[in-house]
């Protein structure tokens, strides 16, 4: 049994050398932004005090924030880890337990933050389909705006030893595997993991740990927008603002969400997503091939396969599996650092 079951991701924290440039991007991305005590905070409409933090400094990822159900849970976690429950001296207050994962990522587990009443979301217009025509004598007229960010949904971290990190996160925070991704049979490269909320439905993934070649770091953080129209309006807005597109629009296989990835001015990737899968603790884990991670159900192909001469997927899987097998064979604790 895990020490605690976290209820969701809380925030992602970065540092960047130009807060004004980051702020302009985050506004285009659809956040409400504000500065406090020299840091840049970005929030959605879910009433949470912040979802994204930028501190002045070099362009690096600083920390993953997870949300515990209660301050009592934080005390349990702190006692288990031999650390203190500290005051969270940031907008919304609350408490925090600060941990470091096996790859050196900082994990900030928060609870007791003040929460405002959630704001409104744009209306979901009735959709006419071949099967049903609920919208009659009414038009669709959409304002050209950035997307409306509702909440943070998940983060993807590159790890140096998937099994080691999986054990670390599951033992402390109660994550459940939704889909384990294999480069070849019995050669896992990572897993989409969700929060254990018992009978309450939870997002298909809150954390994806991926053992991939190259430098460690966060691969992306993802934010839920209102609906498909809202996502597409956001896409249009970011394109008009000449922001850097990373991948999208498309519909993923694992998690099923419609996605759209963009890069901030410092190279960090952020995702807009809508219409993802929800599961309860009763739903069993699945094993999926790498092809299901790289492919889309519709939409833009993964950038790796978008060029004129895309590598065959089988070759990519083969070399990834080889890399993982070699690492497994010479199991070592790499001295890589994330900062």
CA angle 303, 305, 309 (to 5 degrees): 125
For Fe ion, the nearest residue by Cβ is: 222
Q: Dihedrals φ, ψ of 170, to 5°?
A: -70, -40
Ramachandran assignment for 299, one of left (phi > 0), alpha (psi -120 to 50 degrees), beta (any other): left
Query: Where in 185-204 is the site for Fe ion (CB under 5 A)?
Result: none
d(CA 195, CA 215): 27
Here the tokens at position 317 are 């899987």
Q: Give min distance, CB of 22 to Fe ion, in A.
A: 20
Smaller CB distance to Fe ion: residue 96 or 225?
225
Query: Where in 140-179 is the site for Fe ion (CB under 5 A)?
Result: none
Which of the ranges 14-22, 56-64, 215-223, 231-239 carries the binding residues for Fe ion, by CB under 5 A? 215-223
Smaller CB distance to Fe ion: residue 40 or 218?
218
Which of the ranges 28-36, 50-58, 114-122, 265-273 carries the binding residues for Fe ion, by CB under 5 A? 265-273
Q: Give min distance, CB of 255 to Fe ion, in A.
A: 7
DSSP code for 50 = -
Q: Give min distance, CB of 153 to Fe ion, in A.
A: 8
Q: Give min distance, CB of 219 to Fe ion, in A.
A: 8
Smaller CB distance to Fe ion: residue 152 or 183?
152
Give me the 48-87 binding string for Fe ion, x by CB under 5 A, dash otherwise. Answer: ----------------------------------------
Q: Give min distance, CB of 271 to Fe ion, in A.
A: 5
CA distances from 165 to 101, 159, 201, 256, 313 (A): 7, 7, 24, 25, 26
How many residues touch Fe ion under the rule CB under 5 A: the total is 2
Smaller CB distance to Fe ion: residue 6 or 9?
9
Q: Dihedrals φ, ψ of 120, to 5°?
A: -75, 155
Which is it for strands 95-100 and 106-111: parallel, antiparallel or unpaired?
antiparallel
Here the tokens at position 325 are 């097998």
Q: Give min distance, CB of 308 to Fe ion, in A.
A: 26
| Nearest by Cα to 153 from 61, 221, 200 | 221
Q: Give min distance, CB of 155 to Fe ion, in A.
A: 8
Which of the ranges 118-126, 178-186, 263-271, 290-298 carries the binding residues for Fe ion, by CB under 5 A? 263-271
271 touching Fe ion, by CB under 5 A: yes
Smaller CB distance to Fe ion: residue 59 or 246?
246
Q: Give min distance, CB of 285 to Fe ion, in A.
A: 18
Per-position b or e across 120-142, b if 16+ CB within 10 A of its CB: ebbeeeeeeeeeeeeeeeeeeee
d(CA 316, CA 28): 35
Here the tokens at position 166 are 């999986």
Which residues make Cβ contacts (< 8 Å) with residue 75, sequence separation at least 6?
85
Query: Where in 277-316 is the site for Fe ion (CB under 5 A)?
Result: none
Smaller CB distance to Fe ion: residue 12 or 222?
222
What is the H or E stretch that residue 188 is in? Answer: strand 187-194
Place of tokens 């840091």: 39
Give me the 217-246 binding string for Fe ion, x by CB under 5 A, dash otherwise. Answer: -----x------------------------
Residues in touch with Fe ion (CB under 5 A) = 222, 271
């Amino acid at each position: 049994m895990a020490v605690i079951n976290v209820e969701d991701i809380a925030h992602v924290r970065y540092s960047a050398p130009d807060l004004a440039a980051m702020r302009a991007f985050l506004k285009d991305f659809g956040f409400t932004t504000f500065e406090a005590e020299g840091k840049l905070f970005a929030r959605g409409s879910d009433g949470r005090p912040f979802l994204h933090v930028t501190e002045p400094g070099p362009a690096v990822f600083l920390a993953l924030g997870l949300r515990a159900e209660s301050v009592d849970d934080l005390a349990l976690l702190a006692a288990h880890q031999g650390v203190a429950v500290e005051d969270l001296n940031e907008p919304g207050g609350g408490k925090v337990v600060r941990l470091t994962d096996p790859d050196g990522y900082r994990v900030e587990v928060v609870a007791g933050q003040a929460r405002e009443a959630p704001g409104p979301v744009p209306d979901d217009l009735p959709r006419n389909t071949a099967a049903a025509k609920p919208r009659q004598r009414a038009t669709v007229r959409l304002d050209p705006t950035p997307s409306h960010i509702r909440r943070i949904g998940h983060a993807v971290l590159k790890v140096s030893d998937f099994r080691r990190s999986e054990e670390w996160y599951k033992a402390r925070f109660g994550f459940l595997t939704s889909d384990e991704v294999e480069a070849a049979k019995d050669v896992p490269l990572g897993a989409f993991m969700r929060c254990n909320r018992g009978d309450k439905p939870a997002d298909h993934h809150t954390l994806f740990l991926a053992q991939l070649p190259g430098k460690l770091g966060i691969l992306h953080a993802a934010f839920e927008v209102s609906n498909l129209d809202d996502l597409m309006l956001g896409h249009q807005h970011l394109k008009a603002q000449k922001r850097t597109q990373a991948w999208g629009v498309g519909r993923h296989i694992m998690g099923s969400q419609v996605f759209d990835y963009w890069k901030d001015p410092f190279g960090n990737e952020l995702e807009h997503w809508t219409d993802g899968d929800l599961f309860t603790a009763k739903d069993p884990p699945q094993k999926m091939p790498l092809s299901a991670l790289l492919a889309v159900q519709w939409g833009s192909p993964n950038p790796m396969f978008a060029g004129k001469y895309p590598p065959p997927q089988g070759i990519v899987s083969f070399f990834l599996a080889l890399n993982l097998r070699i690492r497994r064979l010479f199991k070592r604790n790499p001295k890589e650092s994330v900062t």
